[in-house]
C-alpha cells in the first residue's frame, strides 16, 4: 500500500475546496440573496461531493455553502472570491491536519500494541524455558500466570489453587508471609515445601516475589519465582552434621591422647623413684610400652582415614589363609578380653580357607572387629568368631553379647567420627569406617546386625574366595645378623629420639654416632665412613645454610663409598616414600618404628652392601 505524504494530501484538499467555494458563490448569485439556496440543492451538492470525492469533500461542500449564504453582495467580486478561496483553503488544511493526526495516532497505537504483544510473547517463551517455577499475581494476590515448568513440576492442570501443593505444616506460614508482603508492598521471601507431581514427594523451595508499581506508586502486579532448594538444604544439613561429628571427634581425640600420656607420665614418675623395686619398674616399662602402642594405633588410624578419604590406600595382595589369620587375631586379643572379664571363644578346627588380599590390612579389619566386640561386652559375656563358605565367598562373623544398637545407629555405624554408647563408646570413632574401606578395596562387603539395644551385635565380612590354594612354599627366614661392629650414623634433631636410638642400637652391638643437623652429618661422614645412615627427613634449620634430610642423602651419595641410607620420618604416605627413594634413600621407616623394624632395616642394608655392586642396582627397599 502506497502512503501519500501529508503535504500532498493537503494540496489535494485545497484543490477540492476552491471549486466548491466557487460553486457556492455562483449559487448565491443565481438566487440573488444570501440564505435563499433551496434545501434540496444543498443536499444534492453535499451528497454528490461525498459520493464522488469522499466524506472530507462533503464536509468542505457544507462549509462552502454556509460561507456563500453569508455573502451579502449579489455579484461577488475578486476580493470576495479571494476571501472565500482563502477561507476554504484554511478550512481544508485544518480538516486534513486533524485527520492525519488521527491516522498517525491510530498507527502509533497499533504499533505499540504489536510491540507489546511481541514482548509478551517473547517474555512468555523465556519464562516457559526457565528451570524454576515463575508466577505473576494480581495486586490482590490472585495468580494471573504460571510458566510451563510450574505445571510440569506440580502436575497441576491450571484449575487447582497453588495452596494444594503446599505442605500442610507450611501452609499457614506461607499465607501469613504472602499477606504481610501484600499489605506492606514489600518483597516476599519465604521457604515452603511443595509437593512434586512426579513422585508426590515434598521438597523445599524458596519463594520470592517483588511488587511492580506504576508511576503513582500503586502496585500493578507481582512477579515471583519458586526455586527448589531441597538438595542445598540436605547438603547444608550434612555439612552441619559432619562439623558436629568432627567437633565431637576432636574432643574425643583430646581425651584419648591424654589417657595414654597420663599412663606414660605416671610410669616414668614411678621409674624415677629410688624406692621402686624391679617388679614395679618392669610394670612401669610394660605400661609405657602398652600405652605407646596404643598411641601408635591411634596415629595409624588417623593416617588410614586420611588415605581412605583421598583414595590412597594401597594393598599388597597375596594369598591369605583366613583360619590361621583369625587364630592370630584371637590370640592377640586374649589378654584384653581377660582383663575385661569377657570370654573369647577359640576358633574351632576348620579346613584352610584362602582369599586374595593384603594380609596386614585384613588382620587390621578383624583385629578392629574383635577389639570392638570385647569393648562392647561386659564381664561374663562371650565373644566368638565364625568362618564359613557361602558360594564363592568366605564369610567371617564376629559376634558379641554386648549392648547392641538400634536401626538409626546401624545406618550410621560405618561413618567416620561416629560414636555411640556401647558399640563404639571408646576410641576415635574411625575403626569401622576404615574396616569398611579396606573390605571394599578387597571387593568384599561388611555389614552390621543387631536385634536392638542390649541384644548384642553381629558383624559379617564377606570376601571373594581365592581361585585355588597357593602352592606350598618356604617362609622367608629371619634376616641373618651381620657383625655387630657395623657403624651407624643417626641424623636426628630431636635429642630425646636421637639419644634413645643411640642407646638401643649400641646395646644391640652397633658402633653408633649421632648428628643433630645436616652439617654435622656431613662432617661426621667425611671424617669416617659409616655403613648405615638413619636420617630424619624433616631437620629443623636453626641456622641459615643448614640442609634437610633429602639434601643430606644427595651429598652422602657423592662419597667414594656411600652408606646405606634409611629414611626415618613421621611422613609415611606413598608419595613420601617415592620422594625419599628419588632422593637416594634405599629404605623408609615410619616413626615410631619398633626396635625390631629398625634392626631389620639395618641388617638388610648391611647385607646389600656385601653384595656385588651390580646386584644392588635395583629398586630401593620400602621398609615399615
Q: Does residue 189 share a domain with residue 65?
A: no
Residue 544 has pLDDT above 50, yes or no: no
pTM: 0.49
Q: Does residue 291 share a domain with residue 254?
A: yes
Which CATH number goes with the domain that contains 507?
A: 3.40.50.2300
Q: Which residues is 219 bridged to in the sheet?
A: 213
Q: Does residue 607 share a domain with residue 497?
A: yes
Q: Does residue 79 share a domain with residue 148?
A: no
Q: Does residue 385 share a domain with residue 297?
A: no
Residue 47 has pLDDT above 50, yes or no: yes
424 band by pLDDT with thresholds 50, 70 and 90: very low
Which CATH number goes with the domain that contains 264?
A: 1.10.287.130
Q: Does residue 394 share a domain with residue 322?
A: yes
Residue 227 has pLDDT above 70, yes or no: yes
Tell me the range of 166-180, 294-308, 343-357, 479-493 where mean pLDDT is highest. 166-180
234 is a domain residue: no
469 is a domain residue: no
Q: Which of 228, 249, 269 is the last residue of a domain?
A: 228
Q: Does residue 504 share a domain with residue 459?
A: no
Mean predicted confidence (pLDDT) in 36-48: 54
- The rounded mean pLDDT for the chain is 79
587 is a domain residue: yes
Q: Which of 55, 84, 104 is the last residue of a domain?
A: 104
DSSP 615: G
CA distances (Å), 243 to each of 84, 191, 477, in order?
99, 24, 49
Side-chain half-sphere of 495: how many Cα atoms within 13 Å? 0
Residue 475 has pLDDT above 50, yes or no: no
Q: What is the count of structural domains for the chain?
A: 5
188 is a domain residue: yes
Rounded distance between C-alpha atoms, residue 476 and residue 292, angstroms: 29
Mean predicted confidence (pLDDT) in 134-152: 89
User: Which cell numbers hold the place of 426?
Assistant: 571408646
109 is a domain residue: no
**Which structural domain, as residue segments, surrounds residue 178?**
133-228
Q: Does residue 198 share a domain with residue 96?
A: no
Q: Does residue 449 share a domain with residue 357?
A: yes
Q: Residue 467 contacts by C-beta under 8 Å, 6 or more apart in sequence?
A: none
User: Which cell numbers hold the place of 47?
Assistant: 451528497
278 is a domain residue: yes
Q: Does residue 396 share a domain with residue 295?
A: no
581 is a domain residue: yes
Mean predicted confidence (pLDDT) in 468-495: 64
Q: Which residues is 395 bridged to in the sheet?
A: 388, 462
For the chain, what percent of residues have pLDDT higher than 70? 73
Which CATH number goes with the domain that contains 216?
A: 3.30.450.20
Residue 351 has pLDDT above 60, yes or no: yes
Q: Does residue 141 share a domain with residue 96?
A: no
Q: Which of 433, 464, 495 is the last residue of a domain?
A: 464
List alpha helices for 537-613, DSSP H: 549-556, 574-583, 595-610
pLDDT of residue 491: 94
Q: Does residue 453 share a domain with residue 330?
A: yes
Rounded distance between C-alpha atoms, residue 316 and residue 136, angstroms: 64
Tell me the range of 288-292, 414-418, 465-469, 571-575 where mean pLDDT is highest. 288-292
pLDDT of residue 617: 42
Lowest mean per-residue pLDDT among 2-6, 351-355, 487-491: 2-6
Residue 347 has pLDDT above 70, yes or no: yes
Q: Of 598, 604, 600, 621, whose CA–CA distance to 500 is shortest?
A: 598
Mean predicted confidence (pLDDT) in 119-130: 72
Mean predicted confidence (pLDDT) in 25-42: 50
Residue 34 has pLDDT above 60, yes or no: no
- Stretch (H or E) spanning 7: helix 6-31
List alpha helices for 272-358, DSSP H: 278-310, 322-340
3-state SS class at 469? coil
Residue 287 has pLDDT above 50, yes or no: yes
Q: Is the model more confident about 22 or about 585? A: 585
Q: Is the model more confident about 416 or about 138? A: 138
Kindly report, residue by residue over 556-594, the tens digit of the pLDDT: 998 888 999 999 988 877 788 888 999 999 999 988 888
Amino acid at each position: 500500500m502506497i502512503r501519500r505524504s501529508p503535504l500532498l494530501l493537503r494540496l489535494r484538499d485545497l484543490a477540492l475546496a476552491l471549486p466548491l467555494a466557487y460553486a457556492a458563490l455562483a449559487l448565491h448569485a443565481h438566487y440573488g440573496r444570501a440564505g435563499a439556496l433551496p434545501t434540496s440543492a444543498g443536499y444534492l451538492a453535499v451528497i454528490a461531493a461525498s459520493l464522488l470525492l469522499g466524506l472530507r469533500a462533503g464536509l468542505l461542500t457544507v462549509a462552502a455553502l454556509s460561507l456563500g449564504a453569508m455573502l451579502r453582495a449579489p455579484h461577488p467580486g475578486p476580493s470576495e472570491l479571494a476571501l472565500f478561496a482563502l477561507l476554504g483553503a484554511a478550512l481544508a488544511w485544518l480538516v486534513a491536519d486533524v485527520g492525519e493526526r488521527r491516522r498517525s495516532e491510530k498507527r502509533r497505537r497499533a504499533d505499540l500494541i504489536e510491540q507489546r504483544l511481541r514482548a509478551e510473547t517473547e517474555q512468555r517463551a523465556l519464562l516457559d524455558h526457565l528451570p524454576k517455577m515463575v508466577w505473576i499475581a494480581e495486586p490482590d494476590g490472585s495468580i494471573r500466570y504460571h510458566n510451563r515448568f510450574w505445571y510440569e513440576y506440580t502436575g497441576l492442570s491450571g484449575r487447582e489453587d497453588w495452596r494444594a501443593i503446599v505442605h500442610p505444616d507450611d501452609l499457614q506460614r506461607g499465607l501469613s508471609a504472602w499477606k504481610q508482603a501484600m499489605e506492606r508492598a514489600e518483597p516476599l521471601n519465604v521457604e515452603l515445601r511443595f509437593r512434586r507431581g512426579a513422585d508426590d514427594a515434598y521438597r523445599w523451595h524458596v519463594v520470592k516475589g517483588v511488587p511492580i508499581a506504576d508511576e503513582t506508586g500503586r502496585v500493578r502486579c507481582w512477579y515471583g519465582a519458586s526455586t527448589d532448594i531441597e538438595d542445598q538444604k540436605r547438603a547444608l544439613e550434612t555439612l552441619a552434621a559432619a562439623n558436629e561429628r568432627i567437633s565431637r571427634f576432636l574432643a574425643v581425640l583430646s581425651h584419648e591422647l591424654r589417657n595414654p600420656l597420663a599412663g606414660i607420665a605416671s610410669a616414668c614418675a614411678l621409674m624415677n623413684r629410688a624406692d621402686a623395686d624391679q617388679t614395679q619398674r618392669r610394670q612401669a616399662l610394660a605400661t609405657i610400652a602398652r600405652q605407646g602402642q596404643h598411641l601408635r594405633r591411634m596415629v595409624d588410624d588417623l593416617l588410614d582415614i586420611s588415605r581412605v578419604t583421598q583414595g590412597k590406600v594401597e594393598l599388597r595382595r597375596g594369598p591369605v589363609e583366613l583360619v590361621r589369620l583369625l587364630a592370630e587375631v584371637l590370640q592377640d586379643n586374649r589378654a584384653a578380653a581377660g582383663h575385661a572379664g569377657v570370654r573369647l571363644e577359640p576358633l574351632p578346627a576348620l579346613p584352610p580357607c584362602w582369599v586374595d588380599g593384603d594380609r596386614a590390612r585384613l588382620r587390621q579389619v578383624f583385629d578392629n572387629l574383635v577389639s570392638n566386640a570385647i569393648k562392647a561386652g561386659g564381664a561374663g559375656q562371650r565373644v566368638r568368631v565364625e568362618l564359613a563358605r557361602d558360594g564363592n565367598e568366605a564369610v567371617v562373623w564376629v559376634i558379641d553379647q554386648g549392648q547392641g544398637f538400634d536401626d538409626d545407629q546401624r545406618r550410621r555405624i560405618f561413618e567416620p567420627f561416629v560414636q555411640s554408647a556401647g558399640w563404639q563408646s571408646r576410641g576415635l570413632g574411625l575403626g569401622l569406617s576404615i574396616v569398611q574401606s579396606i573390605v571394599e578395596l578387597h571387593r568384599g562387603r561388611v555389614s552390621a546386625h543387631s536385634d536392638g539395644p542390649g541384644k548384642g551385635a553381629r558383624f559379617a565380612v564377606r570376601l571373594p574366595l581365592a581361585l585355588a590354594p597357593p602352592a606350598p612354599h618356604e617362609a622367608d627366614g629371619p634376616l641373618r645378623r651381620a657383625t655387630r661392629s657395623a657403624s651407624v650414623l643417626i641424623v636426628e634433631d630431636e635429642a630425646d629420639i636421637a639419644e634413645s636410638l643411640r642407646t638401643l642400637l649400641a646395646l644391640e652391638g652397633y658402633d653408633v654416632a649421632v648428628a643433630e643437623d645436616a652439617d654435622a652429618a656431613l662432617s661426621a661422614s667425611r671424617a669416617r665412613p659409616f655403613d648405615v645412615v638413619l636420617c630424619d627427613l624433616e631437620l629443623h634449620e636453626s641456622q641459615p645454610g643448614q640442609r634437610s634430610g633429602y639434601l643430606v642423602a644427595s651429598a652422602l651419595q657423592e662419597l667414594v663409598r656411600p652408606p646405606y641410607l634409611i629414611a626415618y620420618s613421621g611422613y609415611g604416605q606413598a608419595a613420601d616414600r617415592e620422594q625419599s627413594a628419588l632422593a637416594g634413600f634405599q629404605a623408609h621407616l615410619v616413626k615410631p618404628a619398633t626396635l625390631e623394624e629398625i634392626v631389620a632395616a639395618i641388617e638388610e642394608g648391611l647385607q646389600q652392601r656385601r653384595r656385588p655392586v651390580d646386584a644392588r642396582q635395583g629398586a630401593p627397599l620400602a621398609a615399615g
